[in-house]
Protein backbone atom coordinates (compact mmCIF):
# COMPACT_ATOMS: atom_id res chain seq x y z
CA UNK A 1 0.00 0.00 0.00
CA UNK A 2 1.59 3.28 -1.08
CA UNK A 3 0.18 6.48 0.36
CA UNK A 4 1.24 10.07 1.05
CA UNK A 5 1.71 10.36 4.81
CA UNK A 6 3.49 13.68 5.13
CA UNK A 7 4.04 16.83 3.01
CA UNK A 8 7.53 15.71 1.92
CA UNK A 9 6.30 12.56 0.18
CA UNK A 10 6.23 12.47 -3.58
CA UNK A 11 5.15 9.15 -5.01
CA UNK A 12 7.28 7.94 -7.89
CA UNK A 13 10.00 10.56 -7.28
CA UNK A 14 12.61 8.21 -5.82
CA UNK A 15 15.65 7.20 -7.87
CA UNK A 16 15.98 3.60 -6.69
CA UNK A 17 19.61 3.09 -7.74
CA UNK A 18 20.62 6.21 -5.87
CA UNK A 19 18.44 5.19 -2.93
CA UNK A 20 20.27 1.85 -2.56
CA UNK A 21 23.64 3.58 -2.86
CA UNK A 22 22.71 6.12 -0.16
CA UNK A 23 21.42 3.42 2.17
CA UNK A 24 24.63 1.39 1.73
CA UNK A 25 26.78 4.43 2.42
CA UNK A 26 24.87 5.16 5.62
CA UNK A 27 25.17 1.50 6.67
CA UNK A 28 28.92 1.71 6.03
CA UNK A 29 29.25 4.74 8.33
CA UNK A 30 27.68 2.64 11.12
CA UNK A 31 29.86 -0.38 10.22
CA UNK A 32 32.96 1.82 10.39
CA UNK A 33 31.87 2.99 13.85
CA UNK A 34 31.77 -0.68 14.86
CA UNK A 35 35.26 -1.32 13.42
CA UNK A 36 36.50 1.71 15.28
CA UNK A 37 35.10 0.32 18.56
CA UNK A 38 32.61 3.18 19.08
CA UNK A 39 29.60 0.88 18.53
CA UNK A 40 29.43 -2.80 19.42
CA UNK A 41 27.55 -4.13 16.41
CA UNK A 42 25.39 -3.15 13.48
CA UNK A 43 22.55 -5.44 12.43
CA UNK A 44 20.46 -5.16 9.30
CA UNK A 45 16.77 -6.02 9.34
CA UNK A 46 15.57 -7.23 5.91
CA UNK A 47 12.85 -5.21 4.21
CA UNK A 48 9.49 -6.85 3.49
CA UNK A 49 7.27 -6.53 0.43
CA UNK A 50 4.41 -4.00 0.45
CA UNK A 51 5.96 -1.98 3.28
CA UNK A 52 7.51 0.95 1.50
CA UNK A 53 8.37 2.89 4.68
CA UNK A 54 9.91 -0.02 6.57
CA UNK A 55 13.40 1.47 6.16
CA UNK A 56 12.42 4.14 8.71
CA UNK A 57 13.26 1.96 11.68
CA UNK A 58 12.87 4.66 14.35
CA UNK A 59 9.09 4.44 14.32
CA UNK A 60 7.79 0.90 14.88
CA UNK A 61 8.99 0.47 18.46
CA UNK A 62 10.41 2.21 21.49
CA UNK A 63 13.14 0.11 23.19
CA UNK A 64 14.29 1.04 26.70
CA UNK A 65 16.20 -0.23 29.72
CA UNK A 66 13.75 -0.43 32.61
CA UNK A 67 15.63 -0.93 35.90
CA UNK A 68 18.30 -2.80 33.94
CA UNK A 69 15.80 -4.95 32.03
CA UNK A 70 15.57 -4.71 28.22
CA UNK A 71 12.00 -3.81 27.21
CA UNK A 72 10.23 -2.40 24.16
CA UNK A 73 6.82 -0.94 23.36
CA UNK A 74 5.45 -1.79 19.90
CA UNK A 75 4.06 1.35 18.23
CA UNK A 76 0.46 2.02 17.26
CA UNK A 77 1.08 3.57 13.87
CA UNK A 78 -1.39 6.08 12.51
CA UNK A 79 -1.28 4.76 8.91
CA UNK A 80 -2.47 1.27 8.06
CA UNK A 81 0.42 0.85 5.62
CA UNK A 82 2.86 1.33 8.49
CA UNK A 83 1.02 -0.85 11.03
CA UNK A 84 2.11 -3.77 8.85
CA UNK A 85 5.77 -3.06 9.65
CA UNK A 86 5.47 -3.35 13.42
CA UNK A 87 5.43 -7.20 13.82
CA UNK A 88 8.81 -7.50 12.04
CA UNK A 89 10.45 -5.08 14.43
CA UNK A 90 8.70 -6.65 17.42
CA UNK A 91 10.13 -10.02 16.38
CA UNK A 92 13.61 -8.50 16.18
CA UNK A 93 13.40 -7.26 19.76
CA UNK A 94 11.81 -10.47 21.08
CA UNK A 95 14.59 -12.48 19.39
CA UNK A 96 17.13 -10.25 21.14
CA UNK A 97 15.73 -10.95 24.60
CA UNK A 98 13.62 -7.81 25.02
CA UNK A 99 10.37 -8.00 26.98
CA UNK A 100 7.33 -6.63 25.14
CA UNK A 101 5.25 -3.99 26.96
CA UNK A 102 1.84 -3.71 25.30
CA UNK A 103 -0.11 -0.45 25.20
CA UNK A 104 -3.78 -0.87 26.13
CA UNK A 105 -4.62 2.55 24.72
CA UNK A 106 -6.11 2.83 21.24
CA UNK A 107 -4.36 6.14 20.67
CA UNK A 108 -1.49 6.47 18.22
CA UNK A 109 2.13 6.16 19.32
CA UNK A 110 4.96 6.30 16.77
CA UNK A 111 7.95 5.07 18.76
CA UNK A 112 11.23 6.93 18.59
CA UNK A 113 9.99 9.22 15.81
CA UNK A 114 8.16 11.18 18.51
CA UNK A 115 9.58 9.94 21.82
CA UNK A 116 13.14 11.15 22.28
CA UNK A 117 15.62 10.69 25.09
CA UNK A 118 18.12 13.39 25.99
CA UNK A 119 21.65 11.93 25.82
CA UNK A 120 22.82 11.43 29.44
CA UNK A 121 19.47 12.77 30.66
CA UNK A 122 16.75 11.34 32.85
CA UNK A 123 13.56 12.26 31.03
CA UNK A 124 11.88 11.77 27.69
CA UNK A 125 10.28 14.32 25.38
CA UNK A 126 7.37 13.41 23.16
CA UNK A 127 6.03 15.28 20.17
CA UNK A 128 2.28 15.00 19.58
CA UNK A 129 -0.30 16.42 17.23
CA UNK A 130 0.34 14.89 13.82
CA UNK A 131 1.25 11.27 14.58
CA UNK A 132 1.54 10.35 18.27
CA UNK A 133 -1.49 11.44 20.31
CA UNK A 134 -1.09 13.18 23.66
CA UNK A 135 -3.58 10.81 25.32
CA UNK A 136 -1.22 7.84 24.99
CA UNK A 137 1.65 9.43 26.88
CA UNK A 138 0.44 8.81 30.44
CA UNK A 139 0.34 5.10 29.75
CA UNK A 140 3.75 5.13 28.04
CA UNK A 141 5.19 6.99 31.00
CA UNK A 142 3.70 4.42 33.42
CA UNK A 143 4.98 1.47 31.39
CA UNK A 144 8.53 2.89 31.29
CA UNK A 145 8.42 4.43 34.76
CA UNK A 146 9.90 7.69 33.55
CA UNK A 147 8.73 11.29 33.19
CA UNK A 148 7.59 12.23 29.67
CA UNK A 149 7.37 15.89 28.70
CA UNK A 150 4.74 16.43 25.98
CA UNK A 151 5.47 18.96 23.21
CA UNK A 152 2.76 20.01 20.78
CA UNK A 153 3.88 20.16 17.13
CA UNK A 154 2.13 22.73 14.92
CA UNK A 155 3.76 22.65 11.45
CA UNK A 156 2.88 19.55 9.45
CA UNK A 157 6.22 19.59 7.62
CA UNK A 158 7.73 18.76 11.03
CA UNK A 159 5.27 16.00 11.85
CA UNK A 160 7.55 13.90 14.09
CA UNK A 161 9.57 15.34 16.96
CA UNK A 162 12.77 13.97 15.40
CA UNK A 163 12.37 16.42 12.49
CA UNK A 164 12.52 19.59 14.62
CA UNK A 165 14.28 18.79 17.93
CA UNK A 166 17.82 17.57 18.51
CA UNK A 167 18.89 17.39 22.16
CA UNK A 168 22.67 17.12 22.61
CA UNK A 169 22.88 16.76 26.39
CA UNK A 170 20.78 17.83 29.42
CA UNK A 171 21.92 21.46 28.96
CA UNK A 172 21.73 21.90 25.21
CA UNK A 173 19.24 21.30 22.41
CA UNK A 174 18.96 22.40 18.80
CA UNK A 175 15.47 23.08 17.46
CA UNK A 176 13.24 24.79 14.94
CA UNK A 177 11.12 27.04 17.21
CA UNK A 178 8.24 27.57 14.76
CA UNK A 179 7.50 23.84 14.71
CA UNK A 180 6.29 24.04 18.35
CA UNK A 181 3.26 25.53 20.08
CA UNK A 182 3.90 28.48 22.42
CA UNK A 183 3.40 26.26 25.48
CA UNK A 184 5.83 23.66 24.12
CA UNK A 185 8.45 26.35 23.47
CA UNK A 186 8.03 27.70 27.01
CA UNK A 187 8.58 24.18 28.35
CA UNK A 188 11.74 23.76 26.28
CA UNK A 189 13.03 27.14 27.39
CA UNK A 190 12.50 26.19 31.03
CA UNK A 191 14.20 22.82 30.56
CA UNK A 192 17.34 23.63 28.56
CA UNK A 193 19.77 26.39 29.64
CA UNK A 194 20.99 26.55 26.02
CA UNK A 195 18.47 26.32 23.19
CA UNK A 196 19.84 26.91 19.72
CA UNK A 197 17.60 27.67 16.73
CA UNK A 198 18.64 26.44 13.30
CA UNK A 199 17.52 28.12 10.05
CA UNK A 200 14.35 26.69 8.52
CA UNK A 201 16.22 25.89 5.28
CA UNK A 202 18.42 23.50 7.23
CA UNK A 203 15.53 22.02 9.22
CA UNK A 204 13.75 21.38 5.90
CA UNK A 205 16.97 19.68 4.76
CA UNK A 206 16.50 17.39 7.80
CA UNK A 207 19.48 18.78 9.70
CA UNK A 208 17.72 18.13 13.04
CA UNK A 209 17.17 14.52 12.02
CA UNK A 210 20.87 13.93 12.67
CA UNK A 211 21.83 10.99 14.87
CA UNK A 212 23.94 12.10 17.82
CA UNK A 213 25.63 9.51 20.03
CA UNK A 214 27.67 9.89 23.21
CA UNK A 215 29.57 6.81 24.36
CA UNK A 216 32.48 6.50 26.74
CA UNK A 217 33.10 10.25 26.59
CA UNK A 218 33.21 10.29 22.76
CA UNK A 219 30.69 12.27 20.75
CA UNK A 220 29.73 11.30 17.20
CA UNK A 221 27.02 12.71 14.91
CA UNK A 222 25.77 11.58 11.51
CA UNK A 223 23.96 14.31 9.55
CA UNK A 224 22.50 15.00 6.11
CA UNK A 225 24.93 16.90 3.84
CA UNK A 226 24.43 20.60 3.12
CA UNK A 227 23.66 21.73 6.68
CA UNK A 228 26.70 23.91 7.54
CA UNK A 229 25.14 25.87 10.41
CA UNK A 230 23.73 22.85 12.25
CA UNK A 231 26.98 20.96 11.62
CA UNK A 232 29.00 23.81 13.10
CA UNK A 233 26.87 23.76 16.28
CA UNK A 234 27.47 20.02 16.56
CA UNK A 235 31.20 20.41 16.06
CA UNK A 236 31.37 23.23 18.62
CA UNK A 237 29.63 20.89 21.07
CA UNK A 238 32.41 18.34 20.55
CA UNK A 239 30.77 15.99 18.05
CA UNK A 240 32.87 14.35 15.35
CA UNK A 241 30.52 14.78 12.41
CA UNK A 242 29.92 12.44 9.46
CA UNK A 243 28.03 13.89 6.49
CA UNK A 244 25.84 11.60 4.37
CA UNK A 245 23.44 12.07 1.46
CA UNK A 246 19.87 10.85 2.08
CA UNK A 247 18.04 12.81 -0.66
CA UNK A 248 15.98 9.81 -1.81
CA UNK A 249 14.78 9.15 1.75
CA UNK A 250 13.97 12.79 2.41
CA UNK A 251 11.48 12.46 -0.47
CA UNK A 252 9.60 10.13 1.90
CA UNK A 253 10.00 12.51 4.85
CA UNK A 254 12.96 11.02 6.71
CA UNK A 255 16.74 11.12 7.05
CA UNK A 256 19.43 9.62 9.30
CA UNK A 257 17.68 9.57 12.69
CA UNK A 258 14.63 7.89 11.14
CA UNK A 259 16.70 5.23 9.39
CA UNK A 260 18.21 3.52 12.43
CA UNK A 261 17.21 2.13 15.80
CA UNK A 262 19.68 1.76 18.66
CA UNK A 263 19.61 -1.43 20.72
CA UNK A 264 21.92 -2.85 23.37
N1 LIG B 1 7.17 8.19 5.17
C2 LIG B 1 7.36 7.97 6.56
C3 LIG B 1 6.14 8.41 7.32
O4 LIG B 1 5.58 9.42 6.97
C5 LIG B 1 8.60 8.68 7.04
C6 LIG B 1 8.92 8.42 8.47
C7 LIG B 1 10.16 9.13 8.89
N8 LIG B 1 10.52 8.79 10.22
C9 LIG B 1 10.77 9.65 11.22
N10 LIG B 1 11.16 9.16 12.36
N11 LIG B 1 10.57 10.94 11.10
O12 LIG B 1 5.69 7.75 8.23
Instruction: State pLDDT tens for residues 249-261.
Output: 999 999 999 999 9
Closest C-alpha residue for ligand 1 atom 7 = 254
Q: Is the CB of 163 under 6 A from ligand 1?
A: yes
pLDDT digits (tens, 9 = 90+) for 180-229: 999 999 999 999 999 999 999 999 999 999 999 999 999 999 999 999 99
User: Cα(250) to centroid of ligand 1, in Å?
Assistant: 9
Instruction: Answer for the pair 151, 179: CB distance below 8 angstroms, yes or no.
Output: no
User: Cα(198) to centroid of ligand 1, in Å?
Assistant: 21
Q: Is the CB of 6 under 6 A from ligand 1?
A: yes
pLDDT band at residue 1 using 50, 70 and 90 as cut-offs? low
- Structural domains of the chain ordered from first start: 16-50+108-259 (3.75.10.10)
Q: Is the CB of 187 under 6 A from ligand 1?
A: no
Overall pTM surpassing 0.95 (yes/no): yes
Q: Is the CB of 253 under 6 A from ligand 1?
A: yes
- The string over 17-53, giving b where at least 16 C-beta atoms fall within 10 Å of a residue's C-beta and e elsewhere, is eebeebbeebeebbeebeeeebbeeeeeeeeeeebbb
Rounded to an integer, what distance in angstroms lies between the CA atom of residue 220 and that of residue 188? 24
3-state secondary structure of 63: strand
pLDDT at residue 2 greater than cutoff 90: no
Amino acid sequence: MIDVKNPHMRIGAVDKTLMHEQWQNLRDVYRDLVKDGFLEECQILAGEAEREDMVFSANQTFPWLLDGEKVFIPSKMRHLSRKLEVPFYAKFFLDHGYKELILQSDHFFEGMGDLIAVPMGNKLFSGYGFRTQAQVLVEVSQLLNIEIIPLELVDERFYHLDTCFLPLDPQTALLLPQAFSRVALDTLEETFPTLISVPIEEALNFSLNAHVMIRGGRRVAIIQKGNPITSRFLEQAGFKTFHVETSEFMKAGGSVFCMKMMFW
